[in-house]
Structure 1
Amino acid sequence: MTKQEKGLWVTVVVLSVGVIFMGTFIFRGMNDSSTNTDLSASDWKEPVASIAGQMISEKQWVDALKTRYGNKVLMEMLNRQAVLAEAKLQGLTVTESQVDKELQSSMEGYSSEQAFYDEMWNQFGMSLEELRAEATYQVLLEEIATRDIAVSEAAVQEYYEEHEADYKPIRLFDISMIQVDDLDSANHVLERIEAGEAFGEVAESESTDEYSRESKGRLGLIEENDPFQPEEMMRLAEEIQIGDVAGPVQVDEHYIIVRLNDIEEKQGMTFEEAMEDIRMMLALNDSIPLSELEEQLRSKYGADIRVKLERPAS
């Protein structure tokens, strides 16, 4: 997974997953308020935070969350219920192996499974259970969308042959990088590393690349010939040994120093191994958009929104 693709995936997580689990708290608060007519009860007024002498109550917090995220959360909660109802009607189930496979596809580009789980927890507070719940939902939704779509083996074979390069073994480079804006700074950084300073510590303090600086210069696993990465950086990584540091080399108006942390081999896939993935992909191409399917299922199962959610002020 490239840096851009990883960023896109994280954006999807923020918009569709994180908000869902936030909804558990938000709408629990809504339900509590409906049964408690005294909104000034001590537990509702109890401050959850304070700043500059001002208290923020739980009600203020919940109201702000409802105003900003309420509509999205409610739609997602309704979608989950509708999809579960449709899956039960159609007799669809999801196996542990399907969930594992869905999660594995999300982990591409991370140095390990644990690195993926750590980032999801540290950045979004998402547990393994929550990640598996979202993966389960995605698999069910796709199965519903493609249930009545037939894809011939000939079509699958044709796709595999046209994209055979995508299924060949490929090397993945685990790279760290320090970026600075001039050659003198680059040489100074290199001298510090050669003198024994830790690459990650120098990257954290000196790199001008915000994305990698936050992870002490580490870019994660990058496929060889990744078109989104600078050719100069990838060429350096291919020329050095694991653990070596190389550079500086100019990339556009910047100078970078590279450390090769590791190299992994991504296994290829035979036609037999890839055919089910290809079949699902081609079926999804012929299905209605998943968001439209969710809307249809909400309608089918009589979604009834009984609260008025105000639109946030622009």
Structure 2
Amino acid sequence: MRNAKLLWGIIVILTAACLVLTRVAMTETRAPGRDSAASKGEESRVVARIGDKTITSEMVRQKVYSKYGMEMLNQMLDHLAIQLEADDRGLRVEEKEIASELTRMQQGYGSEEEFYQSMKEQVGMTREELHEDVYFKLLVEKAATADIVVGENEISDYIKQHPEEFANTEQFHLQYILNETLEQANRTYELARSGNDFSTLAKERSLDVNTASEGGDLGWIEENDPFVSPGILKAAKDMEIGAVSQPVQTDGGYAIVKLIERKEDKKGDPEAIRETVRKQLALQKAPPIKDFTEQLRDKWKATLVDTDQEFGTPGTAAASSAPSGGQ
């Protein structure tokens, strides 16, 4: 689902920026005992030229640090504060928990590989960086809710009041062709049913410029997707794999739909559902993650030292940024 992909891209783009900055910092940091002449040579290394002007690695570093250095430093302090608190309380995040969260994040993508490729292309985050981001997200949530009690009755009541959240749903992989008139759509339907390649027809006849070049591919769509015409969703639910629908009226015209694949999105077994609700209700009772992380920084006495020289900012404690993937 394209909207799910877009929303996730927005969520992680700031995290990606900080991760890139961390790599820059590590690359540019001088090793102990490094020869000063070699250091100066590295700092003056030319990385770009235009006309008679040059840009050195040190110029880039200073620009990046002065603009984003404090954000990166704050994120590093947040992560250290979270880890200190978790170690003190004996809290851990298991690999299976990280894997489960990553699987949840992949909803709306055709496959695991498509998800990771999209994250790499859109926000520059690798598998390892996403893994780290999810680790700290889960760890700070555990720390924030460690002292919060959620009763079994609260969990049961929530599940009863929100049955739609826990019902299994279907997802459809669809192609479609959008025509302006019913006559045009009927003609498209006849051509598709007579053996013409659906992707080619979409490129030649579809009004939807966003999908026509991709053969009308809509990707994976949930059965209750609010951004897709109800008529298209109903047609998909009633179709067999490989079938082509008769014209379906939408707000933008008349659509011909082809069902490529379908799958069921299972919400988990009853025990897993109750644990999910327990965590959700605990987080609702907990302070906002941003505020909680600031409290941890105060508790563990985080201090910014001499940041004016490195980042061009006053050497006093700055407001903590929210941890990656937090509330």
Please tell me the TM-score bracket, short chain as reference: 0.7 to 0.9
Query: How far apart in 1 are the matches of 2:171 and 2:270?
Result: 22
> Is 1:48–2:36 an aligned residue pair?
no
Match of 2:209 in 1: 208
Query: How far apart in 1 are the matches of 2:312 and 2:215?
Result: 42
1:239-295, CA deviations, whole angstroms, 9 ceiling, x for partnerless residues? 433234456655334565533221001224443231111100000000000011111
Query: How far apart in 2 are the matches of 1:62 and 1:249?
Result: 56
Match of 1:307 in 2: 307
Aligned pair in 2 of structure 1 residues 144, 244: CA closer, same or farther (>3 Å)? same
CA contact (8 A) 1:168 1:269 kept: no
CA contact (8 A) 1:180 1:208 kept: no
Match of 1:126 in 2: 125
Higher Rg = 2
Match of 2:197 in 1: 196
Aligned pair in 2 of structure 1 residues 281, 235: CA closer, same or farther (>3 Å)? same
Q: Give the drift of 1:124.
A: 2.9
Q: Give the drift of 1:14.
A: 0.6
Aligned pair in 2 of structure 1 residues 130, 216: CA closer, same or farther (>3 Å)? farther
Superposed, 1:1-314 pairs within 5 Å as: 3-16=2-15, 18-28=16-26, 31-32=29-30, 41-50=40-49, 55-177=54-176, 195-196=196-197, 198=199, 202=203, 207-209=208-210, 217-246=216-245, 249=248, 251-253=250-252, 256-305=255-304, 306-308=306-308, 309=311
CA contact (8 A) 2:180 2:254 kept: yes
Aligned pair in 2 of structure 1 residues 145, 245: CA closer, same or farther (>3 Å)? same
Matched position secondary structure for 1:222: strand
Structure 1 alignment gaps of length 5 or more: none
Moved more, 241-250 or 152-161: 241-250
CA contact (8 A) 1:19 1:72 kept: no
In the superposition, the TM-score normalised over structure 2's length comes to 0.78
Query: How far apart in 1 are the matches of 2:179 and 2:60?
Result: 41
Aligned pair in 2 of structure 1 residues 42, 256: CA closer, same or farther (>3 Å)? farther
Moved more, 269-278 or 100-109: 269-278
Structure 2 alignment gaps of length 5 or more: 314-327
Report the RMSD for the aligned CA atoms in angstroms: 3.6
Aligned pair in 2 of structure 1 residues 298, 207: CA closer, same or farther (>3 Å)? same
Matched position secondary structure for 1:25: helix
Letter in 2 for 1:28: M
Query: How far apart in 1 are the matches of 2:234 and 2:87?
Result: 52
Q: Give the drift of 1:126.
A: 2.3
Match of 2:325 in 1: none
1:77-133, CA deviations, whole angstroms, 9 ceiling, x for partnerless residues? 111111111111111111111111111111111122222122222333322222211
Letter in 2 for 1:196: D
Matched position secondary structure for 2:29: helix
Query: How far apart in 2 are the matches of 1:245 and 1:123?
Result: 33
Q: Give the drift of 1:174.
A: 1.5
Query: How far apart in 2 are the matches of 1:132 and 1:4?
Result: 23
Matched position secondary structure for 1:41: helix
Query: How far apart in 2 are the matches of 1:30 and 1:64?
Result: 13
1:1-20, CA deviations, whole angstroms, 9 ceiling, x for partnerless residues? x543432222111112x123
CA contact (8 A) 2:169 2:265 kept: yes
Q: Give the drift of 1:172.
A: 0.9
Q: Number of residues paired by the alignment? A: 306
Match of 2:318 in 1: none
1:142-186, CA deviations, whole angstroms, 9 ceiling, x for partnerless residues? 000000000000000111111123222221111234557788997
Q: Give the drift of 1:190.
A: 7.6
CA contact (8 A) 1:180 1:256 kept: yes
Q: Give the drift of 1:71.
A: 2.5
Letter in 2 for 1:26: V
Query: How far apart in 1 are the matches of 2:44 and 2:190?
Result: 57
CA contact (8 A) 1:175 1:222 kept: yes
